[in-house]
Structure 1
């Protein structure tokens, strides 16, 4: 009876469930209904596996499943690099690796980290150091057409610079080149990382950048450097549509000029928890005539002077302005009311 629903429609229903709270649990239940539902559900469950781990068993299970999906050629490649590959492994019902579309890099690293971890203590003499680049190369050779990349480096021991540099290695370029969405919330000390990422990922449609807090003079230098590199990442994109910037407290002079290269394509601009004290003007945003959503959430020091270029901008396609800030004065209120009357 369930086969009366086409696989395309069923897939869309399951994707909708996947986005809801406890969606993954609901989809696990769908797998058990029958084979038809199982074949439709599994690719959705495994499109972003490294974002859903909560204990050591699930971490180990992810890697074990991926290892079971390796081809003979891929197994031999790992063995040549000194990585032990289980000999007697039952072939899985699906090639789970082929479903990967969204790569949570921190999740991948955390999964592999347990191969060289004992009671939370990192052991550098274990296979982690060679397993990460080896697995990335396998993924790069799989023609996966990756859609999104999530980059974070929080609350874990290890050599972050080396681990992130593996991702922008020339051999891994086929994996990250097709990416359409990037979430950046990382603090990589190696100055080569962001420029290399900009050179390899130039088809991004959705970019989310989180600036790290300055905790020292050295941290301040790194933040200013990264702001310049973020600007280059924006500048390199062919057609950026959604741009979100979080926790920028300065360096707007570094990043705002890069918006000029995307004024025809930008549809959504969002500032979150940012301080505009050192920003002189948002005139460049006024040039984004195709803008549909403009959001300021939890921002400070958004003065009338900074916002004034937006008051008379020709935003003919704008559907939403969200302004959550303590600096709401009469002139800003008139601007918001004017927009609400028109729309």
Structure 2
């Protein structure tokens, strides 16, 4: 966890000279010929899956522990995060990408446990991708992180019986934030009402809203989206089953979104659009052109 710096005048003094480090607020012992660099205290962005995979491949586990991979990784992560706490780490972003590395998704819960709340209390961005259950993780993040500015979610999970709970907990996560600026959600199949209604809580701060491949079957009218007057970018792509009742509030409010610069409203299939949807597409196109 500690990296030795070559003293000033050494082979890499052009990169690691004491004056440059001091100018960046990094104070080193004056008389120590081999100062140590407290690397953990400078960590701001965490690729969670890559961290776990690195620990797994590090060779620190004996054969007995390898048979209990998840338990061993949980213990190792706990040690790592305790070190982070000791160094005063305050993360700005976490990317939960798990499935590609065939990792146990339950390991995601550790970083947002109350035990390590100091690591994520100032978190600004969270990205959750891949097919793994997210309903509990959404709730834990909502309880621990209140200052997120960016949330990116790719699928709600991989268990049909828990999708509704995941949808509700994601809506709770959105509503729990103080000043969310960017929200991107992909692959939501039906019952999008809780998600759309949660936008009202971020109406004063939301600047970018992107939905991809969302089925709006039986969704509520988009009144909450119409309240988001600070929007600069609005993308609803490859959508399904949008009707006139949903979009009507947005048609009335779109001209009041003075900051709107980028607009995309593209259905999954271009055939059979109602007059209201065609009108909305035309209004959005006019806004973008202006």
Bin of the TM-score, shorter chain as denominator length: 0.7 to 0.9
Question: 2:110 — aligned with what?
Answer: 166
Aligned residue number for residue 67 of structure 1: none
Q: What TM-score comes out, normalization by structure 1 length?
A: 0.65
Aligned to 2:6: none
- CA deviation after TM superposition for structure 1 residue 254, in Å: 2.6
Q: Give runs of aligned pairs for residues 194-205 of structure 1, distance below 5 A.
A: 194-205=138-149
Q: Could you tell me which residue of structure 2 aligns to residue 323 of structure 1?
A: 265
- The alignment partner of 1:259 has SS state of helix
**Partner residue of 1:182?**
126
CA distance in 2 between partners of 1:159 and 1:194 (Å): 17
Match of 1:211 in 2: 155
Find the aligned partners of 2:260 and 2:102 in 1 and give their Cα distance.
Answer: 45
Deviates more, 1:224-233 or 1:192-201: 192-201
Distance 1:234 1:304 in 2: 26
Q: Does 1:153 align with 2:89?
A: no
Q: Does 1:132 align with 2:74?
A: no
Q: TM-score, normalised by structure 2?
A: 0.76
Change (3 A) 1:292 1:116: same
User: Paired residue for 1:109, among 52, 55, 59?
Assistant: 52
How far does residue 231 in structure 1 lie from its aligned partner after superposition?
0.9
Alpha-carbon separation, structure 2, partners of 1:264 and 1:317? 12
Counterpart secondary structure, 2:214: coil
Structure 1 unmatched runs, 5+: 1-33, 44-90
Q: Distance in 2 between matches of 1:309 and 1:257?
A: 13
Q: Which has the higher strand share?
A: 2
Contact 2:45 2:91 in 1 (8 A): yes
Displacement after TM superposition at 1:94 (Å): 4.2
SS at match of 1:248: strand
Q: Of 250, 254, 258, which residue of structure 2 is paired with 1:310? A: 250
Q: Tell me: CA distance 1:247–1:136, structure 2 relative to 1, closer, same or farther (3 Å).
A: same
8 Å CA contact 1:117–1:123 kept in 2: the answer is no
Aligned to 2:283: 338
Give the deviation of 1:169 after TM superposition: 2.4
The structural deviation recorded for 1:236 is 0.8
Structure-2 separation of matches of 1:251 and 1:122: 42
2:243 is the alignment partner of 1:298 = no
How far off is 1:137 after superposition? 1.5
Cα deviation code 1:92-139 (max 9, x no counterpart): 874432331111111111111123679xx9532795342111101211
Q: Deviations over 1:142-178 (max 9, x none)?
A: 22231111113204445432x2232122221111111
Q: Mark the CA change 1:264 to 1:165 in structure 2 (over 3 Å): closer, same or farther.
A: same
Alignment of 1:1-343 (within 5 A): 35-36=13-14, 94-114=37-57, 115=59, 122-124=66-68, 127-157=72-102, 159-161=104-106, 163-185=107-129, 192-212=136-156, 219-313=159-253, 314-325=256-267, 326-327=269-270, 329=273, 331-342=276-287, 343=290
> What CA distance in whole angstroms lies between the structure 2 residues aligned with 1:232 and 1:108?
28
Q: What CA distance in whole angstroms lies between the structure 1 residues aligned with 2:221 and 2:157?
A: 23
Higher relative contact order (CA 8 A, sep 6+): 2
For the residues of structure 2 that align with 1:229 and 1:187, how far apart are their CA atoms?
A: 16
Q: Where does residue 7 of structure 2 map in the other structure?
A: none
In the alignment, structure 2 segments of 5+ residues that lack a partner are 1-11, 22-33
SS at match of 2:188: coil
Aligned residues: 257
8 Å contact kept, 2:198–2:224: no
